[in-house]
Amino acid sequence: MPRFILDPEAWGEKSALTGDEAKHCARVLRAQVGDSITVFDGLGRSAEAEVLSVSKDRVGLRLGESVIEPAPSVDVVLAQAVIKGKAMDWLLQKAVELGVSEIQPLATRYAVVRPGEGKEEKWQRIVLEACKQCGRSRVPKVHPVLEIEEFLKKTTTGARAMASLESGAEPLRTFLSEQPEIEKLTYLVGPEGDFSPEEYSKSRDNGYIPVNLGAPVLRSETAAIYCLTAASYVYS
């Protein structure tokens, strides 16, 4: 069943899709009066809805009973160094499917990409579309790009791990086994060129534990998926 985002303030007896959601429903899917769709508010609430009216910029709805998606047992934050276009887009999609709660794009010393204006809006749209596709009703937030130093100053709570190529980093499975009862987990994942020595040092100073993801050297997006998959397995 097609899924559409419906602003939390629009839920009620006179609910309606407007803007791009209405255009997609009316023009692309060619919804007709009497059709059924699913709406969700991005905060965990969803409902089946009957189409009552259709115009090019408004689709009137009658909402059915609301269903609340359970909150995750652990909020997983992916702090990801920005990587090249399509790889970043793909990673955002898969991160949503794996249950990420927040995504913090980072500018790091060895990152080859410096995103310009409007990237965050594009990434948030990708995340929303991924939620529609995979059935999630809680839409993860994509934050504006931060320099890694600025982000580290803000990370003060929860378990913290950084994907590391350094010798002596503990296995990710060991790290996760030591975090049985947590509410938040932040993963720090660098670019293809890895973190600089200074970034490693500052990350450790701010409570990040270097973790090893196995013998092969993984691409940045693969490392992020590895970390998120492990968290999903342990905390789901």
For 22-39, write each residue's pLDDT tens digit: 999 999 999 999 999 999
CATH of domain 3-68: 2.40.240.20
The 10s digit of each residue's pLDDT in 205-232 is 999 999 999 888 999 999 999 999 999 9
**What ranges do the domains of the chain cover?**
3-68, 75-235
Could you tell me which of 8, 1, 9, 18 has the C-alpha nearest to residue 61?
18
Give the single-character DSSP code of 43. B
Contacts by 222-227, CB closer than 8 A, 24 or more apart: 223/163, 223/189, 224/78, 224/80, 224/91, 224/95, 224/163, 224/187, 224/189, 225/91, 225/94, 225/95, 225/98, 226/163, 226/172, 227/78, 227/161, 227/163, 227/172, 227/187, 227/189
Element (DSSP H or E) covering residue 19: helix 19-23
Taking only the tens place, the pLDDT of each residue in 81-136 is: 999 879 999 999 999 999 999 999 999 998 877 766 678 899 999 999 999 999 99
Q: Work out the end-to-end distance of the chain between its first and last CA atoms, rounded to an integer number of angstroms.
A: 26
Q: According to CATH, what is the number of the domain 75-235?
A: 3.40.1280.10
